[in-house]
Amino acid sequence: MPRAETTGTAGAAVAAGAVDVELAGVSVLYGPAKAPVTAVEDVSLAVTPGEFVVLVGPSGCGKTTLLRLVAGFERPATGTVRVHRKVGVVFQQPRLFPWRTVAGNLAFALARHGVPRAARAARTEELLGLVGLPGMGGRRTWELSGGQRQRVAIARALAAEPQILLMDEPFAALDALTRERLQEEVRTLAAVTGTTVVFVTHSAEEAVLLGSRVLVMAAGPGRVVEEVAVPLPRGAGVDVAALRGAAPFASLRAELSRATREAAAGA
Amino acid sequence: MTLLDAPKSTSVPATDGRAGSPGRRRAGRAGQVLRWTALRLLALAVLLVAWQAVVAAGVWPRVLVPAPAEVWRALVRASTVHDGVRGVSGHLLVEHLAVSLRRIALGTGYAALAGVPLGLLIGVVRPLAVVLEPAVTFLRTLPPLAYLSLLVIWFGIDESPKIWLLVIAALPPITAATAAAVRGVPGDLVEAARALGAGPVSVLLAVRLPAALPEILTGIRIAVGIAYTSVVAAETINGVPGIGGMIRDAQRYNQTDLVIAGLLAIGLSGILLDALFRGVERAAVPWRGRA
């Protein structure tokens, strides 16, 4: 499997000015070698530890491709991708293993992470508590609702203790109420654990609510056209639900909606 | 209302977002099973009546087409000790059947032990697939009676050529089903496993193998069926005890009723075994069709 270059050691102390993810002059080509389609053209970006970076844009702008580059699922045609700490991935679909129970899915990740068998039960319960599913380890994955499955997928990704969490439209397939609740939980979780997050969405509202920094992308070929800093409060004590109704949130969302519409129209 | 009417959808208006109450659905399914069983019994009765009518009309001589009652008597004779003779050729019908079933079980068992790992390798190692897939197809197209001669030359006329024949007959479907299933595992799941730090070996054994299990079990069930159809060929030489050997002996003495009785024993046990295997499949892969 093509793997992004990984340097440094997982869990190493983060020096001031350190970078978790670096993309430099990255282009990605798809299709036949004779007539390739440029999915992403000349993208450079850096993500620093603890940042919550959201990639937003219309379909086909290459935001998922950028995420897959960081995850190591794709290789750039030109440019370099450097990932300096351990990565975990949450996909749009939960992608749970149906032949394993909920606990079994977490055990798969814990085993690959080198957690000894004896410690797994306690760690599983801890993770399930973290995503709001305490005591659900014995359930079969198909007995769960869509929201619960995605919570298990998040717990499974966290089981490997990644310092960088990549999330590809993880809430797109959920109902509105579940989506809002999970948005709030992930925002708080990232802030509390200090996890770096790169998050892909096509929703301006989701981008403003979650991101500390939002990158607006345009299609044809995919590129970053605008960057918006989101100076909303973050941390354990922040009432995320209340943020949705706050004035700064509304104006930021309006600005971002305009930017994404322009990006879509300019494509 | 006809027998085949599908049960009306019994779902009550869903207020909680779920389908109708499980109790009513179960009742509907039970009714359907009852109607289907009735239909099958009816078809069987029609067949028996038609058979008896043909025999009564004397279209063909009795030696070629015995009456249902004669076949029944042959079944009873083969299943009991009479005049100091034990069943047919010294063995009861169930004993003939048991010996054949043991051969089928051994043949399919060995074929599964070899075929599943072989299929896994063919599924993931491209050069192996290029070489071995035509070989598997070649083996599949051979009629068992054709390679029986070779097996008899190599292994004699005891138990081993019979088992070998069934292994060769059962191996291709298991290998092919496993290889296809392993290739067909959703890339999504493999990617998710890799994202969690799984290497090629654990992706193969902990993701591809379990994900392919439903199709592998289906392949084994099909292989059991093929072993069933091959067992008579395996027992053409020195096949007694064995249901195939019993049928061969009956043919030699123009005992048409006993031949038909033997066929019934093979077919009915085949239906039972297939149903049993479907049950095992459902129990072993409860997630099938649900995830």
In chain B, residues with a C-beta closer than 8 Å to the C-beta of A88 are 195-196
CA distance B2 to chain A (A): 36
CA A94, CA B11: separation in Å to the nearest integer?
Answer: 29
What whole-number distance in Å separates Cα of residue B191 and Cα of residue A91?
A: 10
Give which of B185, B191, B196 to mutate to test A binding, by max A Cβ within 10 Å.
B196
| Contact with chain B for residue A96, Cβ under 8 A | yes
Q: Which of A223, A221, A224, A266 has its CA nearest to residue A29?
A: A221
Residue of B180, B164, B179, B151 lying closest to B108 (CA atoms): B164
Contact A71, A166 (CB under 8 A): yes
Q: Which three-class secondary structure state does DSSP give residue B194? A: helix
Report pLDDT for A15.
53
Q: CB-CB: which of B191, B192, B291 is closest to A98?
A: B291
Q: What superfamily in CATH does domain B86-284 come from? A: MetI-like (1.10.3720.10)
3-state secondary structure of A79: strand
State the residue for tokens 């009714």: B31
Contact of B120 with B106, CB cutoff 8 Å: no
Q: Which of A144, A161, A178 is the last residue of a domain?
A: A161
Residues A131, A106: contact at Cβ < 8 Å? Answer: no
Residue A20 domain-assigned (yes or no): no
What are the sequence ranges of the domains in chain B?
1-59, 86-284
Is the same domain home to A174 and A225?
yes
| Residue from A95, A120, A167 whose CB has the most chain B CBs within 10 Å, to mutate | A95
CATH number at residue A219: 3.40.50.300
Q: Is A261 inside a domain boundary?
A: yes
Res A175: pLDDT: 87
Owning domain of residue A174: 1-12+25-86+163-267
The answer to whether the beta carbons of residues B242 and B182 sit under 8 Å apart is: no
| A128, part of any domain | yes
* B195 with A87: Cβ contact below 8 A: yes
Hey, which residues does A213 pair with through a beta bridge? A53, A229
Tell me the shortest Cα–Cα distance from B125 to chain A, in angstroms. Answer: 15
Average pLDDT over residues B250-266: 93
Question: Domain check: are A107 and A194 in the same one?
Answer: no
Domain assignment of residue A19, yes or no: no
Residue B176 has pLDDT above 70, yes or no: yes
pLDDT digits (tens, 9 = 90+) for A198-220: 999 999 999 999 999 999 999 88
B246, two tokens: 């019993």
Task: Please provide the DSSP assignment of A111-171 as one string.
Answer: HHTT--HHHHHHHHHHHHHHTT-TT-TTSBGGGS-HHHHHHHHHHHHHHT--SEEEEESTT
A3 has a pLDDT exceeding 50: no
Q: Does A52 reside within a domain?
A: yes
Distance CA B39, CA B247 (A): 31
Residue ending a domain, choose from A134, A161, A188: A161
Residue whose C-alpha is closest to residue A243's, from A196, A206, A203, A193: A206
Beta carbons of B196 and A157 less than 8 Å apart: yes
Residues A8 and A59 in one domain: yes
Q: Do A250 and A169 have their domain in common? A: yes
| CB of B189 less than 8 A from some CB of A | yes
Straight-line distance from the first to the last Cα atom of chain A, in angstroms, rounded to the nearest whole number: 32
CA distance A96 to chain B (A): 7
pLDDT tens per residue, range B234-247: 998 888 899 999 99
Strands of the sheet containing A223-229, edge to edge, are A87-90, A164-168, A196-201, A52-56, A213-218, A223-229
ipTM summary value? 0.85
* Residues of chain B positioned with their CB less than 8 A from the CB of A89: 192, 195
pLDDT in tens, B203-241: 999 999 999 999 999 999 999 999 988 998 899 888 889
From chain B, the residues in CB contact with A141 under 8 A are: 287, 291
Q: Do B192 and A91 touch (CB under 8 A)?
A: yes
Per-residue pLDDT, B153: 94
Residues A147 and A253 in one domain: no
* B134/B128 Cα distance (integer angstroms): 11
**What's the total number of domains in chain A?**
2
Residue A66's closest CA among A57, A58, A55, A77? A55
For strand A21-30 and strand A37-47, is the pairing parallel, antiparallel, or unpaired? antiparallel
Q: Decide if A91 is inside a domain.
A: no
How far apart are alpha carbons A9 and A32 in whole angstroms?
37
pLDDT of residue A32: 85
For chain B, the average pLDDT equals: 88
Backbone angles phi, psi at A3, to 5 degrees: -125, 140
